[in-house]
DNA sequence: CCCTGATTCGC
DNA sequence: GCGAATCAGG
C-alpha cells in the first residue's frame, strides 16, 4: 500500500482526533502502526502525549537507539534545542473513554444543583473509509449552554457499553459476530483468541468443523450469518 | 505480557 | 520517502 492523498487525509484526520496509531493503521489497512507513526511525523503531525517523552532528562547526553554500531565516530549535532514552539496546545481531549460505570450512590448528592462538569461521553466510531461518525452538532463542539440540573450516571449509549466493537478488534480478540450487523447491539465476542485463529476456542469450535469421512451424515453446522440467531 | 509514541537508519 | 527495528514509559 502506498500513501495516496486520500489515505494521507484519513491519517491526518484520525491522528488529529486522537485515534491511536494502531487504530489508524487498522482502519487504513495495509500499513503497520510504525508506518502510521513514521508517516505522521514526516507529515509534520506531531507531538502527542508519548509515554517515553514524558520527562526529558537533560543530564546525560542521550544514548539513543542505535541498531547498528555506527562505523564512523558519532559526530552528533547537539539536539538539545527544541525549535518547536512549545505548544500551549489547546488541550486536545483524547478519545473520551466511556466514564467508568461506577454506580453512584443514588441516595447521596443529587440533591441541590451541583455544577456538573459537562461530561463528554463522545462516541467515536470509524466508518469504512476511515471517516469518523459523529453525532449531529458535533462538529465544533460548542460549549453546551445549560448543563442539566441533575447528574445522571453518564451513560454513553448503554448499547455498546462493555461490548466489543469494531474498534476493539485486534489480532488477539475473538471476532465472532454477536447479533446481526446493523442492529444496535451488534458487537463481537471479544474473548481471547485461540492462538493462530481469529476466534476464541469456543467459536473456533463453531467455525471449524472436523472433516468427516465421505458420505457421513451430519447436521449442518450453525452459520455465523444468515441463519437463525447464533449466540 | 499488553499497550503507547519516538527515533533511527537501511532500503 | 518509507517503515521495520528498536527504545522506553505506562
- Where does the pLDDT of residue A46 fall: very low under 50, low under 70, confident under 90, or very high at 90 and above? confident
Which among A98, A150, A146 is positioned nearest to A121, based on CA atoms?
Answer: A98
Other beta carbons within 10 Å of A127: 10
Q: Is the CB of A20 under 7 A from strand B?
A: yes
DSSP run (H or E) holding A133: strand A132-133
Question: Closest nucleotide to A51's CA, by C1' atom?
Answer: C9
DSSP run (H or E) holding A11: helix A5-16
For the segment A123-156, what is each residue's pLDDT rounded down to a tens digit?
A: 445 444 445 455 444 454 444 554 444 554 444 4
For the segment A52-80, what is each residue's pLDDT rounded down to a tens digit?
A: 655 444 443 334 444 444 344 444 434 33
Q: Which nucleotides of B are covered by protein (CB under 7 A)?
A: 2-10
pTM for the model stands at 0.39
Cell numbers at residue A146, please? 445549560
Average pLDDT for chain A: 60
Q: What's the CA A22/C1' B3 distance, rounded, in angstroms?
A: 10
In this model, does residue A205 exceed pLDDT 50?
A: yes
Q: Is the CB of A2 under 7 A from strand B?
A: no
Q: How far apart are CA A108 and CA A68, in angstroms?
A: 62
Amino acid at each position: 500500500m502506498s500513501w495516496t492523498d486520500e489515505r494521507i487525509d484519513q491519517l491526518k484526520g484520525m491522528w488529529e482526533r486522537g485515534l491511536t496509531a494502531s487504530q489508524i493503521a487498522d482502519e487504513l489497512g495495509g500499513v503497520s502502526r510504525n508506518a502510521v507513526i513514521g508517516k505522521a511525523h514526516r507529515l509534520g503531525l506531531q507531538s502527542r502525549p508519548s509515554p517515553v517523552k514524558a520527562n526529558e532528562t537533560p543530564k546525560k547526553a542521550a544514548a539513543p537507539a542505535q541498531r547498528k554500531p555506527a562505523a564512523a565516530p558519532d559526530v552528533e549535532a547537539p539536539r538539545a534545542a527544541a525549535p518547536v514552539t512549545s505548544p500551549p496546545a489547546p488541550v486536545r481531549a483524547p478519545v473520551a473513554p466511556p466514564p467508568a460505570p461506577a454506580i453512584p450512590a443514588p441516595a447521596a448528592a443529587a440533591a441541590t444543583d451541583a455544577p456538573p462538569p459537562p461530561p463528554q461521553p463522545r462516541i467515536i466510531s470509524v466508518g469504512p473509509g476511515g471517516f469518523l461518525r459523529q453525532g449531529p452538532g458535533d462538529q465544533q463542539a460548542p460549549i453546551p449552554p445549560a448543563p442539566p440540573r441533575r447528574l445522571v450516571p453518564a451513560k454513553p449509549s448503554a448499547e455498546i457499553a462493555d461490548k466489543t466493537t469494531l474498534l476493539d478488534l485486534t489480532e488477539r480478540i475473538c471476532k465472532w459476530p454477536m447479533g446481526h450487523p446493523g442492529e444496535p447491539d451488534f458487537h463481537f465476542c471479544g474473548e481471547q483468541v485461540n492462538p493462530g485463529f481469529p476466534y476464541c476456542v469456543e467459536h473456533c469450535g463453531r467455525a471449524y468443523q472436523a472433516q468427516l469421512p465421505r458420505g457421513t451424515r451430519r447436521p449442518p453446522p450453525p452459520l455465523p450469518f444468515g441463519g437463525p440467531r447464533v449466540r
